[in-house]
A and B are shown apart, each in its own frame.
Chain A
Amino acid sequence: DVKVTQSSRYLVKRTGEKVFLECVQDMDHENMFWYRQDPGLGLRLIYFSYDVKMKEKGDIPEGYSVSREKKERFSLILESASTNQTSMYLCASSFKGLAGIWQETQYFGPGTRLLVL
């Protein structure tokens, strides 16, 4: 079974703190993604990476950065946390390849619920 793990299930931080969210996958997937999930808005893509040291902005990258130093690990960084970044953060991974079911099936971690006070 594919396993995607995230460093914390729940996190409480103060405004202005630097926050690190880590994600590890064990399936040797090339692609990794960070989403945030808010009620009524679905999943919105923050950043993704299709290879080590590669990163691409998603739909809502402002206020976030990412790091991918190893294939299995993808970190999301909130440089200076703000209350509007209170959300559920989901990491996902997938195979790289020709378009099709294998490439488009994403495997998600359990999520980190972040509260910024």
Chain B
Amino acid sequence: GQSLEQPSEVTAVEGAIVQINCTYQTSGFYGLSWYQQHDGGAPTFLSYNALDGLEETGRFSSFLSRSDSYGYLLLQELQMKDSASYFCAVSGSNDYKLSFGAGTTVTVRA
């Protein structure tokens, strides 16, 4: 099976940088994804890494190290609207399933 670990909560001020780590244990590995979910809303896709390295999408970046079974999501220039839960998810095989972490609640303070 798959297991993922990520911190439960992070608090930071506007304009700061936040890094959310995700470590995983899987029987196979295809890629690591990140999803954002605002309170009361649907999870939405943020980023995907299949190969080692950094992927940048605007203020958000995602990193993967396959050898370390580790990845992170970097939120830069934090804004109040970034207050949300962030989930890492891995696909362990080519069967379309994702296994999700428990989520990290990010609270941005003024």
The judgment on whether A and B are partners is yes
Per-position 1/0 for B28-52, Cβ under 8 A of A: 0011010000000111110010100
B88: nearest chain-A partner, CB-CB: A42
Could you tell me if A42 and B101 are in contact, using CB atoms closer than 8 angstroms?
Answer: yes
Contacts of A110 in B (CB 8 A): 41-42
With an 8 Å Cβ cutoff, the count of chain B residues facing the other chain is 26
CB of B87 closer than 8 Å to a CB of A? yes
Contacts A40-B102, A42-B101, A90-B42 given; does A105 touch B96 at CB 8 Å: no
With an 8 Å Cβ cutoff, the count of chain A residues facing the other chain is 32
- Secondary structure at the B interface, as helix, strand, loop or mixed, is loop
Could you tell me if B91 and A42 are in contact, using CB atoms closer than 8 angstroms?
Answer: no
Of the candidates B33, B94, B95, the one whose C-beta lies within 8 Å of that of A105 is B33
Could you tell me if B42 and A99 are in contact, using CB atoms closer than 8 angstroms?
Answer: no
Interface residues of B (CB under 8 A from A): 1, 4, 8, 30-31, 33, 41-45, 48, 50, 87, 89, 91, 94-103
